[in-house]
Each structure stands twice: as C-alpha cells, then as structure tokens.
Amino acid sequence: MNFVIPDDYDKAYLGSPHVERLIPHGKVRVYSDPPRDEGELVERLRPAEIVIPIRERTPFTAERLVKLPNLRLISMTGTGVASIDLEAATARRVVVTNTPGTSVPAVVELAFGLMIALCRRLPAIDREIREGGWPQHVGSELSGKTLGIIGLGAIGSRVADVARQFGMEVLAWSPRLTADRARQHGVTPLPLADLMARADFVSVHARSLPATKGLMSRELIGLRKPGAFFINTARAAIVDEDALWEALDAGRLAGAGLDVFSQEPLPQSHRWTGLPNVVLTSHRGWVTQETLDRFMGGAVENVLAFLAGRPVNVVNPDALQ
C-alpha cells in the first residue's frame, strides 16, 4: 500500500507517531516542500493508493483525479472537502473521509483574539511602542457588547458559549437553526438582516457551500451600525469582499479581523494591507500544534478503518457501492 501526505508545509508530521502507525501497512511518503508545478505534484501523487491532504492545500479536481489511477481513499484532515470534486471522486470510486470537529478550539480562540485585538487596538499600540512612543489609545470591552454569529455549527456554537462567559449578548443565524439548539447555547435566533443591524461584532462561522457564496452581501454589510466590527475566520467566498473593503475604507465599519481572503497568499501591497483598521492573519485559524496532531490522528484512524473494511466519517458513501 502506498500512502502520500502531499503538503506537510508546516513540517508537523515528519516522525509523527500517528504517521508511523501506517508504516506496517506500506510505504509512506511525506512531502514538506511545495511542488514546482503540476507535473511534479502529479508525479508525487501518482503512486498513491491513499492520500492524506492537509486541509485544502491540494485540490483534487476531476482533471487531477483522472491522472491518479491507483487512488482509493482521500483521508482529509479537517471537516471541509470543498477542494475535492466529490462527484468525480465518487464516479471513480475514490472514497473521501474527513475529521470533523478537530480544529474547533483553535478557530474559536483566534476569533476572540481578533475581537480583542480590534477593540483594544493592540496592533497600533504594539507598533507605536516599537517606534518609540507610549500610546494612550482608549479601547473598548467585549463585556456588554452584542455578538452576532453567522453559522451555529460546531465552531459557532463554541463561540457562543465563550462569548457568554465574556458577558456578551449573543445573536445567531444559521440555515437550519432550531429553537432548541438556540436555547441550548443561550443565543437569540434572528433573521440575518436583523442580526447584522443589531450586533456590535459579527463573526462568520458558516460553511463554504454554493448556498453561502456571497451570503454577506453588500446590502447586509450596509446594515451594520457605526462602530461595529466584522470577523471572518471561515471562508472569503462567504463575503462580498469589495463591499466589506469599501465599508472599512469609508469608516462605516470600525474594523475587521480577517483570516481568509479570496486570494491567498496576499500579494505585496494588496489593498487589505493599506487599511489601518483591519487585523490580518494568514489563514492561521486552524494552525496550532494541537490541531495538527488531532488532524493526523483522526485521518490515520480513518485510513485504518478503511483498510479494515469498516470505513468511518465517509463524505461520499456512494463511492462504497
């Protein structure tokens, strides 16, 4: 059996005890440097019967899957599988599994880190101190503020629980939010427009799906009240980036904390880097040592279950037929 981890760019899995569990079952190749081009990537992937990608760094399009005749299983780390053409994978009887819930603590913590950085103006204070100043910026507290959560899934519900510990009122919108789930997490369910108009902070935790593309529209962003903040640790496609940038540039929004962008990595001198009221992070929401460990542990468990003929966490069960 040939196993390939194609994109360990954090160099987190060289010598990993989780990866070593695969060695009795075959040959394991771990690549820590990006391929030079498509040809080199396909050459690395072609022998693989089982691939363990790190999140969505390596897309598996229909065109790429055709070039991988040996592939039987894609054991994704993390929940999202937007980088995989599931229809094409299923047609080729390539099973796709994921590791749900493994990045929840890391993303939740970053969301609050961005909120605190914004309302206490931490980046500006740090910069001015390094330049020889002793800034006297007056910040604001999370306590007593209203947080609107977009998407009350595994991450959004944990954000709600933590926000209440900060003393925040929590509003929520989710496509299938029930009254019982809202009560369970102590949130007030509201229509999206009402949430956007009332919240001091809006934090996006919806999944990236065709139905959520552009969900945070120009019209909804225009409903935000002056002094409000916007946090996105989910996916850039959920937000109308032009409308958000314009609202921040004009001062209609007080600030934003952004971990995801339509173009990654951001090129030098990108327009986002010119806004002083925006805190930028490089898609780091999920990247902690603990998350990476949980990712590989779950992905390897999925592989071993598949090899034992008892596949679990299967995203495309039709591929098993």
- Active-site option among 264, 270, 271, 290: 264
Please state the CATH superfamily assignment of the domain spanning residues 104-280 in this structure. Answer: NAD(P)-binding Rossmann-like Domain (3.40.50.720)
Find the Cα–Cα–Cα–Cα dihedral 98, 112, 127, 243, rounded to 10°: 80
Report domain extents, the chain: 2-102+288-320, 104-280
In the numeric block, which tokens belong to residue 123? 């980046």
What gap in Å lies between CA 201 and CA 146, rounded to an integer?
A: 6
Give pLDDT, residue 82: 87
Give pLDDT, residue 80: 85
What gap in Å lies between CA 244 and CA 217, rounded to an integer?
A: 9
Among this protein's residues, is 235 annotated catalytic? yes
Q: Tell the residue number behind the tokens 């850039």, with chain if given.
A: 236
CB atoms within 10 A of CB 11: 10
3-state secondary structure of 264: coil
What gap in Å lies between CA 275 and CA 286, rounded to an integer?
A: 24
The burial of 99, by beta-carbon neighbours within 10 Å (0-12 exposed, 13-18 middle, 19 or more buried), is given as: buried
Give pLDDT, residue 208: 86
3-state secondary structure of 182: helix
Spatial CB neighbours of 267, under 8 Å, sequence gap ≥ 6: none
Q: Helices (DSSP H) in the chain: which residue ranges?
A: 17-20, 38-45, 62-66, 86-91, 104-119, 122-130, 154-165, 179-184, 192-198, 218-221, 241-249, 289-307
Please choose, from the candidates 246, 213, 230, the residue with its C-alpha nearest in 3D space to the C-alpha of residue 280: 230
Give me the architecture of the 2-102+288-320 domain, per CATH: 3-Layer(aba) Sandwich (3.40)
Among this protein's residues, is 264 annotated catalytic? yes
Give pLDDT, residue 190: 97
- Active-site option among 18, 55, 224, 235: 235
Among this protein's residues, is 252 annotated catalytic? no
pLDDT tens track, the chain, 321 positions = 999 999 999 999 988 999 999 999 999 999 999 999 999 999 999 999 999 999 889 999 999 999 999 999 999 999 889 899 999 999 999 999 999 888 999 999 999 999 999 999 999 999 999 999 999 999 999 999 999 999 999 999 999 999 999 999 999 999 999 999 999 999 999 999 999 999 999 999 998 888 999 999 999 999 999 999 999 999 999 999 999 999 999 999 999 999 999 999 999 999 999 999 999 999 999 999 999 999 999 999 999 999 999 999 999 999 998
3-state secondary structure of 147: strand
In the numeric block, which tokens belong to residue 89? 């994978």
φ and ψ at residue 149, rounded to 5 degrees: -105, 125
What gap in Å lies between CA 5 and CA 21, rounded to an integer?
A: 14
3-state secondary structure of 203: strand
- Active-site option among 185, 205, 283, 294: 283
Rg value, the chain, Cα: 21
pTM of the predicted model as reported, rounded to 2 decimal places: 0.89
Q: Tell the residue number behind the tokens 């069960």, with chain if given.
A: 317
